[in-house]
Amino acid sequence: MIYLIILGTMSGLCEGAGVLPDGPLNAPVGGTVMFTTTLTPSDGPFTVVFWKFGIKDIIRYDPTASIPHPDYEGRITFFPSTASLELRDLTLDDGGEYAVNIIPGFLQGDTRLDIYEPVSSATVTPPSLDLVEFNSSARLSCSSSGSVTSYVWMNGSSEVTASDRVHLTDGGSNLTVVNVSRYDQGSYRCRVFNPVSDVISDPVIISVSFGPENVKMTVSPSQNLYKEGSDISLTCSAESRPPSLQFFWFLDGEQLSDTGPELRLMNIQTTQSGNYSCQAFHSKTMRYETSQPSSITVLQKISGPHVTPSDLTIEGNPVNLICDASGSPTARKWMKDGSDLIPNDNIALSDNNRVLSFNTVNRENNGDYLCTISNPVSSSEAKYRMDVMYGPENVRITGKDNVTVSEPIKLICSANSTPSATFTWMLNGTVIPANSPEFSKENAELSDGGIYTCEALNYITDRRSSATFELFVHAGSIQPSGLSAGGIAGIAIVCLIITAAAAGGGYYFYRRKSNLNTDAHPMNNTENKENLYEEISAVYENVKAH
């Protein structure tokens, strides 16, 4: 015995596993294991070899006889040249300690054999998971038959590693993903191992719904201001899984009856102005998300622009010109006589240029005013002609101030006035009939002389102003011109006749005489007078002929 130990120590073969490699050896149930020694034929020949399993002999070999234990009949093959042993048709009972002793040399070796049931039919439960992001945990469990020594979980083609939110428990057979995210969606498999086999499960699908998020509203055409009557289309989009979403629409926070991803606003009216937003709803995650609002402002086209003065534009009065229109005006601009209107001490603009104010209007303000009234979708202009009302001023009477009886009188009165003045004539302070600016009379009489007054009235300014004029009417002698000496003599004769007739003709005779000198109009009045006239004419013609 002591010899054996010393020998073994010296040869180094007795140490540890000896002539057998380090174990354990692994083999599946039903499989075959080969206990291969480290010896070679040159180490032999061996005279005696014992193989033992625990305390039980497997085989005793010597060159003359090789006797297997009955339990191993047919299941073993011994290799005399290396003292190796093959064991077949393994059962779980074959697992344990194996040893070999060899003579000569007292060589010894031992090792362990582990028998494993091969793993099979790995299954993951549940067969699928339909989860909501950030709301659920995923729990998967792996089971299989056979003697399992380890589990590996596969997420797609990569191995799942444990972390804060990925927990592997029960030796790795359970996988828990806490608070799943969209990125955890995928196919998961479990892979089951033991030293003699491995098997992988069918994939199970973890679906993770999420969203809606990034809810966006697109307005087409895209602008801030729209003309009344425009057609606008609003489209809502969002990201989610699965992609089907419900959409709702809001105007200034109030839900509209419309649903669906597109809201069409046809023939839009100003009352539809406001902030639009859309809301997406996901029936699986039961989550809502609303887009940013988009402001839509509908403007009416400007129409019927007009400039209206606040008061009569009477010189010296304060007046406002007001520029208005229907529609939705946002800007107004004033021009005068084709140039931009520049406010000054007397002229001011207020109420966003709606009102043009004159402290006092005066004639310098006369002109063509143009108010351009606009909004971003239209523009229109209104004209106003300013004629400041003033006067009357500079009332004057023109005409001959010296007339002879029977000569015409023509006096014209004028005044500076807007609107034009109306005139009233007076003689010696008494109103006389006249044709407004003109006072005329065919034949002056002595009584037409006197002080004429013309009073001009501007019925708008309600101002009056007058002028006076002194007219002298002379009872002058008849002095026809352009006649021959004979003619003059004839006229002298006529005059004599006139003088003679004066007793019967009086005033009218005188008048007729005067007409004879100035024009040839037939006279009116009484028959007596007609006759007299004819007589005189005859005389006169006679005189001329001589």
For residues 314 and 316, give the distance between their C-alpha atoms in angstroms, rounded to a whole number: 6
By CB under 6 A, residue 286 contacts ligand NAG: yes
Least separation in angstroms between residue 185's CB and ligand NAG is 8
Of 507, 484, 503, 497, the C-alpha closest to 534 is 497
Nearer to ligand NAG, 51 or 210 (CB): 210
Of 119, 98, 120, the C-alpha closest to 108 is 98
Q: How far apart are the first and last CA of the chain?
A: 210
Of 298, 303, 326, the C-alpha closest to 380 is 303
Least separation in angstroms between residue 513's CB and ligand NAG is 22
Long-range own/partner contacts, residues 184-187 (CB < 8 A, 24 or more apart): 184/138, 184/155, 184/208, 185/241, 186/155, 186/156, 187/156
Nearer to ligand NAG, 77 or 424 (CB): 424
DSSP states of 86-130 as a string? EE-S--GGG-EEEEEEEETTTEEEEEEEEEEPPPEEEEEESSEEE
By CB under 6 A, residue 150 contacts ligand NAG: no
Least separation in angstroms between residue 519's CB and ligand NAG is 25
Least separation in angstroms between residue 300's CB and ligand NAG is 16
* Whether 450 contacts 427, CB under 8 Å: yes
Cis-peptide, bond into residue 127, ω within 30° of zero: no
Binding residues for ligand NAG restricted to 524-543, rule: CB under 6 A = none
Nearer to ligand NAG, 148 or 471 (CB): 471
Chain residue at closest Cβ approach to ligand NAG? 450
Number of residues counted as binding ligand NAG (CB under 6 A) = 25
Least separation in angstroms between residue 175's CB and ligand NAG is 8
Which x/- pattern, by CB under 6 A, does the window 371-410 give for ligand NAG?
Answer: ----------------------------------------
For residues 69 and 78, give the distance between their C-alpha atoms in angstroms, rounded to a whole number: 12
Residue with tokens 């120590």: 9
Which x/- pattern, by CB under 6 A, does the window 170-209 give for ligand NAG?
Answer: -------x-x---xx-x-----------------------
Binding residues for ligand NAG restricted to 258-277, rule: CB under 6 A = 274-275
Least separation in angstroms between residue 245's CB and ligand NAG is 14
Nearer to ligand NAG, 161 or 484 (CB): 161
Side-chain half-sphere of 272: how many Cα atoms within 13 Å?
18
| From 41, 54, 63, 156, residue interacting with ligand NAG (rule: CB under 6 A) | 156
Least separation in angstroms between residue 80's CB and ligand NAG is 56
| From 285, 290, 417, 461, residue interacting with ligand NAG (rule: CB under 6 A) | 285
* Whether 322 contacts 369, CB under 8 Å: no
Least separation in angstroms between residue 266's CB and ligand NAG is 20
Structure tokens at 207: 């679906």
Binding residues for ligand NAG restricted to 440-469, rule: CB under 6 A = 447, 449-450
Least separation in angstroms between residue 135's CB and ligand NAG is 4
Nearer to ligand NAG, 43 or 289 (CB): 289
Nearer to ligand NAG, 360 or 447 (CB): 447
Beta bridge partners of 299: 227
Residue with tokens 């499960």: 201
- b/e per residue, 275-301, with b = 16+ CB within 10 A? ebbbbbbbebbebebbbebbebbbbbb
For residues 453 and 429, give the distance between their C-alpha atoms in angstroms, rounded to a whole number: 7
Least separation in angstroms between residue 186's CB and ligand NAG is 6
| From 32, 128, 295, 303, residue interacting with ligand NAG (rule: CB under 6 A) | 295
Interface ranges with ligand NAG (CB under 6 A): 132, 134-136, 155-156, 160, 166, 177, 179, 183-184, 186, 252, 274-275, 285-286, 293, 295, 427-428, 447, 449-450
